[in-house]
Structure 1
Amino acid sequence: MSDGDFEFERKFFVPELPTAALREPHPALIVQSYFLAADGYALRIRLQGAAPAGTLPTWGDERELLEAAADTFTFCALTAKGPYVGGTRYEAERELDVTAGLAMVRLGGDLVAKLRYSLWLGADGWVVDSFLGRNEPLVVAECERGGPVTDLAIPDFCLSEVTDDPRFANDALATSPYSHWSADYGRELETDGPRFLTEFGTNQLGLPS
């Protein structure tokens, strides 16, 4: 993130975890607790660390996963976010002590858990988030830059753009998980087909991954 407390990103729905992500041997495990998520505004605590070896619980309550991974977190931050406006969102972040952050997350908030894979494709860095728990099997890819994400080469694993779809915001997924509306979204894709926003310049589709 740059340009003060703002982030610039575009987001895409991915049907399944791409091979390019699977080549990343050390994904990050992220658990986020949303203490406020309303009208595009959010207040969250994020815990992050290397994904532990072995099998993580990927169903049911994210709090089970939180406890299974409690000893692996090495980073924690408190973040305030504003609504998306044209691919831009206000975001102010402050790092927290991991022990204090974990204690607060244990006390409350709505959780989102995911594995994050970092890729470099073409001229851009990408992250691919594979969601766990109630949001499994949702996969979302994001490209973030220091300014507006224009004239983007979009990887071939991106099926449709969701930058402006509020359902795919993490704070929305915390309270209305993908498992509750995935069938409806699948029908939308079948009826309307993929979409890619055109207000960000020229899209180059099908970048090899």
Structure 2
Amino acid sequence: MSPEMNDFEFDRRFFCRTMPAELDDGSAPTLIVQSYYVHSDNYALRVRLTSRKNRIEMNANTDAMAVLDQYRDDFSEASVAIKGPSVGGTRYEAEREIDADIAAELIKRGGQIIIKNRFAAWIGEDGWDIDVFGGSNAPLVVAEAKRSRPVTNLIIPDFCVTEITDQARFSNDGLAGRPFSTWSADFERELAEQGPHFEQIYGHNRHESSTSEASF
């Protein structure tokens, strides 16, 4: 039996320097703590916990396990997901909701943990997620535009530095196996030498000011 279309996610992803202040409305972002039990060749098995009650600062000292222990009762939603490789901005993902207490115990017992804040905003005609990572992946910020179909003819806001859509090293499972802090200097040298890159296979890109296009 072939996978259902809703088992695929369509997105384009971008490296950012910072979380744009104009997209932060002051409310608590979605706090995500997730553990990867498989993270190899862009295949992944992930357990995720989320909370929208707390605003946790993300930096290199943010301890995911300490946050999980301190705010355990605030994590009310959880899921398990199976992911395949990303090809052309399309990735297989089968996800199912699970009990939050079971998810917390699984995360505490194994896997490679990632912690991040997820901010959401509308920019132009698209909903965007901006992830601000903590711990060994700080100070990484990744912006992602998602649709129910391939993401073409996209308005790319000015805070997006370069496109990383199919770069497995920037996927969350890639970051679980090899945190950003261990190769960020190499990436910065690469970016300085090669300059920003935006894929041309997804139709016509438009670059717009985030302040003029953003809304909540």
TM-score calculated relative to the size of structure 1: 0.94
Counterpart residue number, 1:17? 19
Q: Encode CA deviations 1:27-64: one digit per residue, 9 max, x unaligned.
A: 01001100101111100000001152565775164322
1:64-143 equivalences under 5 Å are 64-143=66-145
Counterpart residue number, 1:3? 5
Amino acid at match of 1:6: F
Assess if the C-alpha contact under 8 Å between 1:61 and 1:134 holds in 2: no
- Aligned-pair identity (%): 45
Per-residue deviation, 1:164: 1.4
Assess if the C-alpha contact under 8 Å between 1:37 and 1:171 holds in 2: yes
Counterpart residue number, 2:39? 37
Amino acid at match of 1:85: V
Counterpart residue number, 1:199? 201
Per-residue deviation, 1:170: 0.1
User: Does 2:143 correspond to 1:149?
Assistant: no
Per-residue deviation, 1:24: 4.8
Matching residue within 58, 61, 64 for 1:62: 64
Assess if the C-alpha contact under 8 Å between 1:5 and 1:91 holds in 2: yes
Q: Encode CA deviations 1:72-103: one digit per residue, 9 max, x unaligned.
A: 20100000000001100000011001111111
Query: Which SS does the other structure have where 1:127 is aligned?
Result: strand
Amino acid at match of 2:171: A
Assess if the C-alpha contact under 8 Å between 1:138 and 1:178 holds in 2: yes
Query: Which SS does the other structure have where 1:43 is aligned?
Result: strand
Assess if the C-alpha contact under 8 Å between 1:21 and 1:128 holds in 2: no
Distance 1:57 1:63 in 2: 14
Moved more, 46-55 or 71-80: 46-55
Counterpart residue number, 2:214? none
Extract unaligned runs of 5+ from structure 2.
Answer: 212-216
Amino acid at match of 2:142: V
Query: Which SS does the other structure have where 2:150 is aligned?
Result: coil
Distance 2:65 2:59 in 1: 10
Extract unaligned runs of 5+ from structure 1.
Answer: none
Amino acid at match of 2:177: T
Per-residue deviation, 1:22: 2.1
Distance 1:19 1:53 in 2: 15
1:77–1:150 Cα change, 3 Å: same
Query: Which SS does the other structure have where 2:91 is aligned?
Result: strand
TM-score calculated relative to the size of structure 2: 0.91
Q: Encode CA deviations 1:8-36: one digit per residue, 9 max, x unaligned.
A: 00000011111133225220100110010
Counterpart residue number, 1:186? 188
The alignment of Structure 1 onto Structure 2 pairs a total of residues equal to 208
Amino acid at match of 2:126: D
Amino acid at match of 1:142: E
RMSD, aligned CA:
1.7
Query: Which SS does the other structure have where 2:116 is aligned?
Result: strand
